[in-house]
Amino acid sequence: MAPSGPGSSARRRCRRVLYWIPVVFITLLLGWSYYAYAIQLCIVSMENTGEQVVCLMAYHLLFGMFVWSYWKTIFTLPMNPSKEFHLSYAEKELLEREPRGEAHQEVLRRAAKDLPIYTRTMSGAIRYCDRCQLIKPDRCHHCSVCDKCILKMDHHCPWVNNCVGFSNYKFFLLFLAYSLLYCLFIAATDLQYFIKFWTNGLPDTQAKFHIMFLFFAAAMFSVSLSSLFGYHCWLVSKNKSTLEAFRSPVFRHGTDKNGFSLGFSKNMRQVFGDEKKYWLLPIFSSLGDGCSFPTCLVNQDPEQPSTPAGLSSTAKNPENHQFPAKPLRESQSHLLTDSQSWTDSSTNPGKCKAGMSNPALTMENET
């Protein structure tokens, strides 16, 4: 690791300040939109009292949910892998002392044998992070901006200056949803006054320019937000992250783009939880701990009834499957209660030993 000094620490502080510029821009834009809509449009330009009351009530409801979800997305700390995924001091010494090769493989094998990890690198190696010195849980990736491993990392979003992952993905989705509704509501209620602007039906005051620019901004952001929100709705329906959409996860049987999909209903529940009363609120209700996830290897996705690409013919036979022998967390296993469960390693050690074999284990760095 490169030595740190006064110059490098000053650069890091400057970068941290620069990272907040998009958030400041959104905040200023939101503040202006409040002034333009609530004051200039509703109070100054609307003449009907009933219209004023209805628009202000609906506007403040959307504004409050928008700000709440945006705040939670920004200031919810990303979750990092728990201590059990970190190598012990002795294992770290072995990795540093021994040349890369079989010794590294053996250290990682021993460290990962009791961990609920099913995914591998493209070469079949256990996913290991040199920077954090830990074995990566499934769907965990190292963020170069945050310089740490993030559980179920989706992407690093500059507009919230935060990593979007397991701890705040629901908040990010609600932020997109409420920001889209916010822009659509403003555009719809501002449309008639925008038309009056071009027909000279508005008094010649500063309000008319706020009304014009407010409609343009709301319409423009509605288009971009609708495409982004639609894309993430599709990701949720397939139980994918943005990273997994671009690079499919690799399991022991090979690459499987739908490896974590359990069907639309269960995919939704993983993000939003079991209690529907919390779905529309930016309150954490996602299922699990972010370290282990059910896969279609133990619960075949009804939308993908065929055998995943790359799965060997022996895995098609339920008497000779290669399902992982490590148990899921209790917080995730209840999603599989209505599906066929896999055989525990203690019931048939011979078959599970074959399923656990992995001769291609080599150490490989991922970011």
Sequence-ordered strand ranges (E) for the chain: 119-120, 127-129, 134-135, 141-143, 148-150, 155-157, 162-164, 250-251, 254-255, 364-365
Please choose, from the candidates 174, 210, 158, the residue with its C-alpha nearest in 3D space to the C-alpha of residue 72.
174
Q: Single out the residue of 286, 343, 345 nearest to residue 319, CA to CA.
A: 343
Cα 299 to Cα 259: distance, rounded to the nearest angstrom: 10
User: What are the start-end ranges of the E strands in 114-236?
Assistant: 119-120, 127-129, 134-135, 141-143, 148-150, 155-157, 162-164
CA gap 298, 262 in Å, rounded: 9
- What element of type H or E holds 192? helix 169-198
At residue 36, what is the residue type? A
What residues contact 106, with CB distance under 8 A and at least 6 apart? none
Catalytic residue among 140, 157, 163, 296: 157
Check if 55 is active-site.
no
Q: Which amino acid is at 85?
A: F
Which active-site residues does the annotation give?
Answer: 157
